[in-house]
Structure 1
Amino acid sequence: MSTLPAEPSIESVQFDELECWRIRHGNAELLVARQGAQILSYQVDGQEPLIWLNDEAVFKQGKPVRAGMPICWPWFGNLERNPDSVQAMRQSSEPAKAHGEVRALNWELLGVGEDGDALLVELVLPQAEGQLPGWPHNVALKLSIRMDQALNVSLVSYNGGSETVTLSQALHTYFAVSDVRQISIEGLNGLRYIETLENWEEREQAGDLTFGGETDRIYLDTPNLLSIVDPQWQRRIQVHTSGSNSAILWNPWIEKTRKFTDMAADGWQRMVCVETANVLDDVVTLAPDEMHVMAVSIWAEALPE
């Protein structure tokens, strides 16, 4: 006898200082923090998590959470490493925060509703419309989450001002894996990448990417499908993107993790970041009244026996 899927539900939960929402739809559960509109975890019943919720994450107001899917916007990483057109948008002599201004601000829950068999969740950040510190541009910013057979996340930027705006951005996704030393990333073969750990040299990927040490690479002209192959968990995580032509692959490994106060010493083994991004030459330029959507869909498939 089959059972009907449970009705969608949303409940407010508190993680230390952060207000969050636990959202259930069908057999999937999503955890989202109001701060940063940050997805903290995503898991389908009976399966290992897809999005990694760091056991040692710190949930404090004003402090980005090292877990889930942080939003980097309107620049990625160190502002000084961004193209001049992105740097020129900032108008402040104060040091620029890493990964932009929006991941430590409280967003507003615009709505939750059903669309056929899917559940839609939308969050907006009113401060992006001219009130970000040192970034006085009127760009409406919305995060749309659609839960169906996959987790579909879209970051929508709309230039409501009178001047052209240039930005870089990323959905800095931490994926849960059995052991990063045993996985591989498919879809990168032959791509150019920037090896940030070796003087930002440009190199070319040969074969699938495997991990044997700290990794911090920016891949260029990426295809719209990358796959995380995890033999121990017998699954392939599919990462399908649109509105993005670059990706960052990151794992801190042993030494860097030791410097983190918000990750267990062996936390690096259980995660890999595959970040959907618009960075370097792949920045977004929006004329007045123009919109850009950067999106990623994530789901797991069983590996063949």
Structure 2
Amino acid sequence: MKLGEVRFGGSHTGTPILSPMSNTFVIRNIANDDGSALIGDHGAHVINWAPSGQTSVIWQPKAVRLCAQSAVRGGIPVIFPWFNAGFANGQPTNKTPRHGFARLSFWHVDKESMTDRHIQYTLDTDDVDAALLDQIISGANSRFHAAYDVTVGTELTVALTVTNTGDDSLVYESALHTYFHVGDVTYAHILGLRGAHYLDATVDGFPEREQSADAVTFNGSPVDRVYDTTDELQIHDDVLDRTIVIETAGSSQTVVWNPGATIESGSSDLGETEWRDFVCVEAAACRDHAVTLAPGASHTLSQTIRLV
């Protein structure tokens, strides 16, 4: 069994959305004979994962910035309870922080259940500032318990289960914003989306289009699409000579994103050429497909990743 943690003290500024138990960031090493992953308590953020003997399948930037007011770049940010700036009543909203508060919160870790293959994090209504709760689609009376399970081995499975602990309906958006490591995105392509309709977020008004080509490819222009599909997908990586298979459950949509050569390049946590090193493919339930839970009901959004 290989379990470990690394603590970084005094590296965050400002007031975190969920106060940490101490002035530290904790990154945990979950490792066994089949694979290993690094996971941070801030955001319950999977930083990387690799099956034994393989290059990491989950991408992390060359410089990983730890800040209570910023999500970690790369890995798998947990998007909850709104996607991007939010969406309600058929219209985009202007909520902050972008992509919700879950990825900026210090989650609780269930140390008793932690093994060399599994870790569970939890986040509850009482952990979050009331002003943030007021922005949930279902409003200030929203109550929830979120459990995030990460299982590490030859496959990686991440599962976000949200339970409505209140007396009123809970309505929210969520996504598992997974950055996949590729040798060069311009020599990679995604299969499994042909015929699917998608919203093109690179164009004002989010026009709907159809995926007519067999593969989604990347040429340095921004790609930001929300597909209405839950089919199994494959990322073919010619440079690393491998195929990544992605299976989802509890998802009604798939988001595909790469910033391209002209967006966010040169930012403090993304080098000028690092856009080539990843593509984001994420299970999502957002916009018109937001989750609605009756009191006491639960919903699980999950993603299982493997190499073939």
TM-score range, shorter chain: 0.7 to 0.9
Query: Mind listing any 5+ residue stretches in structure 2 that lack a counterpart?
Result: 12-24, 134-139
- Residue 125 (str. 1) matches residue 130 (str. 2): no
- The match for 1:170 among 167, 175, 178 is 175
**Aligned CA distance change for structure 1 residues 14 and 85 (closer, same or farther; 3 Å):** farther
Where in structure 2 are the equivalents of 1:1-305 lying within 5 Å?
A: 7=1, 9-15=2-8, 17=11, 18-79=25-86, 82-84=87-89, 96-111=96-111, 113=113, 119-127=117-125, 131=129, 133-135=131-133, 136=140, 137-199=142-204, 200-206=206-212, 207-212=214-219, 213-223=221-231, 225-258=232-265, 260-301=267-308
Provide the rounded CA distance (Å) in 2 between the counterparts of 1:241 and 1:203.
23
Letter in 2 for 1:109: V
Kept in 2, the 8 Å contact 1:191–1:222? The answer is: no
Shift of 1:268: 0.3
Kept in 1, the 8 Å contact 2:192–2:234? The answer is: yes
Kept in 2, the 8 Å contact 1:28–1:44? The answer is: yes
What are the superposed Cα offsets for residues 97-136 of structure 1, whole Å, 9 maximum, x if unpaired?
A: 1101111110011136489xx8221110134677553314
Q: Which has the higher mean CA deviation after the structures are superposed, 120-129 or 227-236?
A: 120-129
TM-score normalized with structure 1 length: 0.87
Q: What SS is found at the alignment partner of 1:125?
A: strand
Kept in 2, the 8 Å contact 1:41–1:51? The answer is: yes
Shift of 1:258: 2.3
Shift of 1:158: 0.1
TM-score normalized with structure 2 length: 0.86
Q: What SS is found at the alignment partner of 1:11?
A: strand
Q: What SS is found at the alignment partner of 1:153?
A: strand
What are the superposed Cα offsets for residues 264-287 of structure 1, whole Å, 9 maximum, x if unpaired?
A: 111000010001100122210001
**Aligned CA distance change for structure 1 residues 129 and 114 (closer, same or farther; 3 Å):** closer
Provide the rounded CA distance (Å) in 2 between the counterparts of 1:107 and 1:128.
12
Provide the rounded CA distance (Å) in 2 between the counterparts of 1:133 and 1:56.
32
Letter in 2 for 1:133: A
Q: Which has the higher mean CA deviation after the structures are superposed, 247-256 or 153-162?
A: 247-256
What root-mean-square deviation, in Å, do the aligned CA atoms of Structure 1 and Structure 2 show? 2.2
Provide the rounded CA distance (Å) in 1 between the counterparts of 2:174 and 2:298.
14
Shift of 1:181: 0.1
**Aligned CA distance change for structure 1 residues 285 and 170 (closer, same or farther; 3 Å):** same
